[in-house]
Structure formats: structure tokens, C-alpha cells
Chain A
Amino acid sequence: MSRIGNWLAAPVAAVLVALCLAPLAVLFAYSFFQVDFVTISTDPTLKNYARIAGSATYRALIGHAFLSGAVVVAITALIGYPVAWFIARRGGVRKSALLTLLLVPLYTGDMVRIFAWRVILGAEGVLNRLFLWLGLIDQPLQVLLFSPVASHLVLVYNYLPFMVIGLWLGFEALDERLTEAARDLGAPAREVFRRVTLPLTLPGLIAGGMMVFVLVVGDHLTPQLLGGASGVTVISAINDLFGTAFDWPLGSAIACTLLATLGLCCALAAFALSRTELGRSLAAGEA
């Protein structure tokens, strides 16, 4: 049989190579160049990477990005678990309605979402005015906006649906009778979760966690516009180097460093996923 699939995939792969891989390759090449006054010198050099390795600021920025990612993953996982469990246990129409309702806020657009949160959290915002009106406070709470709390709240808001989708897939693959059996055998609820539910929904947790992590690390609008002084992220640093600072090679080198570390994280997650029972059966089933 002729492999029609290859012929269908070829144009898509070509577009992906031209518009995604090729730019990344050029980015990678640029990371070895250097700015020479206003021109870019193309003699290959490792100076950019040496600068990153030697700079506490850049290391801290990358560290911060990963910490933010981890924190948001943890929070979304915690608040997402009961939601995913609840959705997975609904039947037919209700389930698909809940899933649609969950995903719809993703399509409101980055700017609109950030604007809405500014309206809610700002010094002149809805919450502060409400609290003032109610007499709970006598001065606007500044911590509500332009703080790490604000930016992480909105990051959680932005990416929670991805975590719930991942966990929901995990719960769909979990046979409800297994938890019932565990309960029947006398395990208290906490033990049922720790010894049955958690290990069996782990693939969903890993998949959802990976998505949320990567998306949080890559999001610069939310911290920049809602995080105030804490809004400087590794991504916004790259943005500045390509914009105002006009040091494309250094920006490229930081981007490549970040991509490499992210890639490593994804590879680890994918490896962990393949080690779980479900991952194995998926790999076998899709063959």
C-alpha cells in the first residue's frame, strides 16, 4: 500500500519547517554573533552564552520563570483535581457542556483578559472600590495589582483549563470501580487518593502540568502588565533586547538557553509519561 499519509503530511511539515524550524535555526545562528556598534558581526563566538552564564540577573530570570511555572502548575493541579473529577463523572451532554464552558474563556483573547483583571484589581478597580464602599478598608489595597500575587492569580486563571483538560483525560482513563474497590477494602478517602487515584491519573497530571508549565514560562504579557516591578521576566528581557536594547545576538542566546532548558523539561515529562501505565498503553494503542 502506498503511504498516502506521507504525502498529506509533507506540505504541512514543509510549512512547519519554513515558518517554525527555519526561524529557530536562524535564531540559533544569531546567538553566536555579536553586536559591533550598530552592525552585527557574524564571526562565531560564545561570548553571549558566557555573558548569560556569568550574569546573576539572567540566571535569576530563568530561575524565576521556572519557579513561576512550578508554582502555577502546583496551584492549578490542586484546584483542578476536584473539577476534573467532577466533570469526568458527568454523563453525555452535561460533560460536553462543562468541557465547552471550561474552554470558552480561553478564546476571549489575551488583551481583553488582562484588561478585565486590571478593571477588577486596580487601585481604582472594582474590588478596591467595593471594599472602600463597604468600609472594609480605608485606603486602596496596592497589593491587588502590580504584584506577583496579581500576576500569578491571572496566570492561574489563564492556564487552569489546560490543567483541567489534562487531569480530565486522566480521570476518563481511570476505572471508577478501582477507587470503589479501594474504598470497599477499607481505605480512607485520603489513602484512596494517594494509593489509587493519584498514581492512575498521573499521566493526565504530567500532561496537564507540562502544558501549563511551558505556557506560564512563555507568557510575558501577564507579568509585564499585571506584575508591576516583578513583571520583568526572561521573556520580557528577550523582548527588550530585540526592541529598545537592539542586541539581537544576546537576545537569541537567551532565547536558545531558555528553549534548551524547556526542551529538557518537556523531554523529562515525556519520559515520565511513557513510564506510566497509560502512556505505555497509548503508545501501543496508537500503533
Chain B
Amino acid sequence: MSETVIRARGLAQRFGAREVFHDVGFEVRAGEIFAILGGSGAGKSVLMRQLIGLRPPSAGSVEIMGRDVMQERAAVRRAIGVMFQSGALFGSMTLLENVMLPLEVFTGLPPEARVAVARVKLALVGLAEAADRMPAEVSGGMARRAAIARALALDPPLLFLDEPSAGLDPITSAGLDQLILELRKDLGATVVVVTHELPSIFTIADRCILLDHAARGVIASGDPRRLREESTDPTVRAFFRREAA
């Protein structure tokens, strides 16, 4: 379980003269749920876009399974599944067709098999009965689940989730956390999750890094539960205890 899946070194992001973060480095190990935390504007989403190769970092490098993300984009993309903040389901296709699209292009599966496989993925996220609905016809929580199903389409060993529970009510959000835990257990996937929802962090994350806007970088890393109890840094304490207080 100690195989390194992601190795980020010295990552920085600048927009002109404005620096969002610098010298961000960490490793994610196989099978763990790794959380990228931070307040708004700390650069969580930018960091995730760098990790998945959508945005070239101003400095530093990312390796996923030993391959450089910017150099070997095609190979890396076959190994990752991404769920975007708003779901990013294709609005002109049903949920089932959304899941089938990558299958259509990248696997040699015959049409009836694509339908069967896509239905299994939707069933895994609890959407067996909503398969033929359009993204606009389902609730926010269902859309997130469908987006996770699509990210799982090619059974990637590494899953990126950008704010999976943003804008959802606590119950739906807790359901999503359970789903993420189940998927990790059943599929053995490694999960990187970007979030600022405290309940979710303590439920699912094995390890985390905390980005801070003022420090322009990582101010804490490790097990979030231990950070909450043991950290002496006032900013870290404030982040982890804001709801406990």
C-alpha cells in the first residue's frame, strides 16, 4: 500500500505578478484518500488542474504513476478519472450516454456491452433507475453521482474529485462521502479530493494538505484528525476547528 501514485514537486502558480502558491510538493500513495484543503482563493482548484494536466504549472512538475503529466498527457489521462465541480455532464446526452461516451471511443466493447457496462457504473453510484434521464432533469446530488460514474467509466486507478459536495445539503453530502469510501474499498482506487467541507474531510480523508492564501503555499499536511488535535499553528487550528468552536 506504499506505492506512490502522485508525486508533486515544487509546484507554483503565478498569474502575472500575483502568486497563488509556490513550492507545493507532496506524494499520494496507492489506495489512500488524499484531500487538498484550503479556503477560497488558496488555489485548490488551480492545483487540481495542474495535477490533471489541464494547466501547466508556472514551476515544478507532477508525476502520475511515474509519468510526467505535461509530457505524457495521453497516457496519464487513461489512468485518471475526473469529476468537475459542477459535474460537467454533457447536457445533450442522457446520464447513460454520458457514461458511455468514453467507452465508445476507448474500448473495443460492442454497443450492447457498452450499455451494460455503463448501467453497472450507474448502479454502483446508486443511479440505476435514473439512467435515461437528462442531466438537467436530475438533482445536484444525482448529477454529482452521475459525474462520478462517468469518471469511473474506464475504471481508472486514480480518481480526482473537485468539491464533490459543494452546494449540497448535509445529508446528500454525507451520502456522497459514503459512496466515495465504498468505491475506494470496492474498486481499490486512489482518490484525490478537493474540498473545504469539514465533516467530509474527517470522514473520508486519510491524509491532507492545507493550502493557505496568506502563506502562498502548504501550511500543514498529514492526518486531518491529528492536525485538528495537535497543531499549534493558529491558522491551521482556525481551519480545522471553525465548526467545532
The answer to whether A and B assemble together is: no
Please give the residue numbers on chain A whose beta carbons come within 8 Å of chain B beta carbons, in ascending order.
none
